[in-house]
Structure 1
């Protein structure tokens, strides 16, 4: 008994200690002093219930650069252990072996080509297999020495204290119903600005989405632009999503002219208001298709800015909303009016494509996530053919209409799966299987390509920017499939045993894709669609060409490739200027290696640079790294060879490429590049791009 008495007062004092009381919710929102009673005096005066406030979130400690440096080194050393067959989870260290949910990387080539790490960045699990590779290799930032690696890491982290290097997260206003909602009518731009943003949307975004009936929306804008308070809640949401899309699609100078502010700031502001407007419109409980249209446009406007994992969750919300509205089943659509049924189909297909693309960027297995339904294709008609009061389906046009771009995107994935089902093959396995002969893959791809050439491309007029974009898109889509069929990452030896003919063909395919990207930026009428082109930049092709130029650095064809690469750097300037992105730093290092090899070979041959001076992109990359011009430090002349002479227009002759002998004695580590690209949220698995899976009952309508 006596031994228990001393503990009693201590226990009582612990229990009686009063908890810390925080300001109530109302006082915190009004930013007034709260007496912290229950209820407080301010709530009594206001006649409202007093809700105790929650404690503030603890401040997250900012990581110092030295900690990030150590973390990068540790990651590199752990990968070295994995590459030598040492499994970290089997070591004696209890701290390491006891970590739950961490899977060791297998050294077996077969396993590494199908299974990705279970735990991703920030300790979050990866929910699906990565179909390409699993581990990050020792080629950290593709550097040639420890000093160069350390320099590259410092370049990548030099601005950690000023700005974050990861994509911003999407806040939860869409689901936060307790937050006071704003008066949306006071947040619209001036009437003249509204009309200019609307016109920008019609020029830049609407031709690629066809998600709304432009004539009907324009009538509503004309009626209420001077008095936005008369807009309905769904119309408010739609308008702010249109503003966000317009700003995301325009050039910096155009935004400054129209709104008088920086484009990035304007986009963040209007995207934030669009989220509020969607909440006001009751996104999660709505049965109004206009709110769903607004939500899809909002997602399209932020897809290049926000984290792919977050976007994938929100595209899943859009999929569920279509299911609740019954838009994913054709019998239910048939019960609607002709007008509403048509736009229901357009909504469903746009969401399916967006969900598939976002899943690929987020490294989600698209076969498990894509929408499944029996919705037919949208009609091949123009906006003028549709009317809200129409009772009969409009007659489809036999040729190309305003829907050409959207219909090509819809049909691409469906035809892939349709054709694979007819031939009894799994298309994804066919293109990704290194044991399948390239000729068999090419036969499959060419058969599909002829369908699109006959149905769409031959009817397009290249003088019309939208139809030119559609023509280019078909070329690039099938270029991606050919790249997927031949890519060195499909081989366990990273392409070391690829024949020279296969390498020549692959180089020509990649160069064609880069040339089309550059052509799109050159043509005046195409600038309005560059927001979409930039979102689908063929980075895998870009990296492959840069690597090949390390080994075949001179000759006419190498000159042509370098012209395209340097121009591409100018069009995608973020690869040069964004030194906080490890992927961009790695690309810069690879470009410097390849250019150094070119200078070394030219010096060996007694020749000078074709233009007589170092190109601007190379100078920028060198100045960032404070690297002196020393060609010998980048490459040895012994492993170089002058490339063969090209034939006329060879970059576009994918089927019969001109021989290009690259002495690829040291294949590039594609595991490393896959990890970097995936970590940046960029889609590279061509066999997953825009391939929604649909119910077989709809197949008859696709033929």
Structure 2
């Protein structure tokens, strides 16, 4: 029965209690504390024994329990403090964090008020770098999958993740794609596919062809990429090809991307002889299959390293067929996926096995090079991800030195390993990073700072010496990869010198540059293009031509065209026009791709330069000016909307029309001997002795494009109008210049 408030307060509403019990509880009341009834009713207690409210209500007057006093913090003894400090030092040592005692660190014992110079500050940060703010992420890894989490929401929940596998099950490669949803899956949108899921078994080549393509990949692609362990991957492919009905989706994506890149590295006659089909047909087949396999593997949400590696191989195969902006987005996806997998964080700091750590490093640096190239071509700014990684450089060891069960990394090898080509790229990245004071946050821009030319030259000289000392002197030119590395190192040095002295770094954009430096730049640009065009006639490194084509240096090419508007005759000018014609023949997309604004601008500049040469025909040393090259006729017909002139065919791509006009081998090899006189001379002599010497076997990879930024504003000038013009005077002209002093038509 419910009681009203008046009934509850009425003495009749409370049954009487035995007197002894009441007296016993009353004796326990202590002054200073309210009873429980008064506290519950929130009324003032008179603190009597019993209180008047309890007497009126005829209930026991039970005293409340006083709050326990606050425990005073125990003071640690000196011994306790020393013990806790020792424990902290052990934890720091366990996780590889350096610490020094005050007596052993004079740099840290700076007294208050001491002024520290910038050099001392840099040295101090180099020896004991300050802790990185905000690096509180967690890396979850298990059996080839990983997930890096570093935002506040996940940090607050990480204690709730009892098993690391829970963090890896947020996305599964085997999830079914939603075909009936209102919006298509993002993978379908990005790759332009309508098939949300498709069985690809019938698109795999025959088993014998799978093995042939894998061998082609090992010969032509793997030496320049090296993002996975070849023996382990070979076993994976063998198992998958034997049971295509049950192949894992990430593995299948990797297989199709390997097929695609292998065919990309072959020529037409090789495809017909090896696979019985045309190159174009195979590229179309494997390109669509690779896209579909990536979609099947859910590459945009996958946490599997194989899926990311497949996407990287796909990106390496398709830059010719993507416009620069779309390709930039594609490589940007690779960056984001790599960051989600946490490979921008060094695995050694997160208890990842040495084997997996090594290939995480290789994969991350391939992503860095790939995104650097695409951002340059798309006109994007500095890649922001380069500010947020701590992944170390890969180790200079071969695949035979590594195995999945090893507990520690082998010692780094001296000299040449399977990583030769990539080690040259890493050396360039290290040199450019060390060039700046503030780390790597602005080295792409300061490499063209006019105030640092002397220091740039010193860095380039040191890099050139390091190439020779650490790698080139160990190279055997009878091995295609070693031969490739010799020319690659030469091209890198040429490219860096060209960038270090480029006229766009000057306030007047080079209008008043000394003639001697102007001539030096023209010569360096010509060397770069000569070395590049030689690669397309090479037989020894024919398998690496896919890389040469992608990495063509536009920067020196544009510089040559710009200068040829003012250099109208001379032996060096004739050589330059020969190389430009070869470059257009070998890269027909520069003529055929009318939707590429950069190629259109280059074509316009080429026409202006040739018009200047034609206008100065009377100055051509008394002889008749040669007929206009084929690329000039094609460009003019395109601009005039007239009947198009035939463009180079695939066969002509391999056999340039003006082969007889190429520089003599002795003249070309003077360029290489300038950089490495002993090594290259010995290499040539050795090839002659064994009867294998052929000047056409020597070529170069313009690999510097991955590492040196191209100033998009420089190309934008082509779209908007004329480049800055150099108007030197007779007193400034170099005695070796091919230009008439101050006389420009």
Q: TM-score, normalised by structure 2?
A: 0.57
Matched with 1:506 is: 521
Q: Is the 8 A contact 2:387 2:441 kept in 1?
A: no
Residue 543 of structure 2 aligns to a residue whose secondary structure is: helix
Distance 2:432 2:495 in 1: 13
Matched with 2:416 is: 400
Distance 2:595 2:383 in 1: 33
Is 1:674 paired with 2:702? Answer: no
Residue 562 of structure 1 aligns to a residue whose secondary structure is: helix
Aligned residues: 483
Task: Write the deviation string for residues 640-664 of structure 1: whole angstroms up to 9, x where unpaired.
Answer: xxxxxxx977766999xxxxxxxxx
Matched with 2:437 is: 421
Matched with 1:228 is: 244
Matched with 1:207 is: 223
Cα 1:475–1:678 change in 2 (3 A) is farther
Distance 1:335 1:484 in 2: 41
Task: Write the deviation string for residues 397-453 of structure 1: whole angstroms up to 9, x where unpaired.
Answer: 21111101112223322331123239999644543234x264443234323333333
Cα 1:333–1:240 change in 2 (3 A) is farther
Pairwise CA distance, 1:607: 3.3
Residue 283 of structure 1 aligns to a residue whose secondary structure is: coil
Residue 328 of structure 1 aligns to a residue whose secondary structure is: coil
Q: Is the 8 A contact 1:416 1:448 kept in 2?
A: no
Alignment partner for residue 561 of structure 2, among 546, 554, 560? 546
Matched with 2:391 is: 375
Matched with 1:363 is: 379
- Choose between structure 1 and 2 for higher RCO, CA contacts under 8 A separated by at least 6 residues: 1
Matched with 1:388 is: 404
Q: Is the 8 A contact 1:509 1:651 kept in 2?
A: no
Bigger CA radius of gyration: 2
Q: How does 1:661-700 map to 2 (within 5 A)?
A: 674-675=715-716
Is 1:172 paired with 2:189? Answer: yes
Distance 1:672 1:306 in 2: 22
Cα 1:512–1:173 change in 2 (3 A) is closer
Matched with 2:478 is: 463
Residue 585 of structure 2 aligns to a residue whose secondary structure is: helix
Q: Is the 8 A contact 2:387 2:440 kept in 1?
A: no
Distance 1:400 1:52 in 2: 54
Residue 272 of structure 1 aligns to a residue whose secondary structure is: helix
Residue 522 of structure 1 aligns to a residue whose secondary structure is: coil
Task: Write the deviation string for residues 258-302 of structure 1: whole angstroms up to 9, x where unpaired.
Answer: 555554454344233223222322334433322222222122222
Cα 1:181–1:425 change in 2 (3 A) is closer
Is 1:240 paired with 2:281? Answer: no
Distance 2:466 2:611 in 1: 44
Matched with 1:350 is: 366
Residue 531 of structure 1 aligns to a residue whose secondary structure is: helix
Alignment partner for residue 186 of structure 1, among 187, 196, 202? 202
Residue 231 of structure 2 aligns to a residue whose secondary structure is: helix
Q: Is the 8 A contact 1:247 1:263 kept in 2?
A: yes
Gaps of 5+ in 1: 1-48, 57-168, 629-646, 656-669, 680-703
- Structure 1's consecutive aligned runs of 4 or more residues displaced over 6 angstroms after TM superposition are 49-54, 422-425, 647-650, 652-655, 676-679
Matched with 2:170 is: none
Cα 1:579–1:358 change in 2 (3 A) is closer
Distance 1:199 1:678 in 2: 44
Pairwise CA distance, 1:239: 0.4
Q: TM-score, normalised by structure 1?
A: 0.61
Distance 1:50 1:502 in 2: 62
Matched with 1:282 is: 298
Is 1:340 paired with 2:340? Answer: no
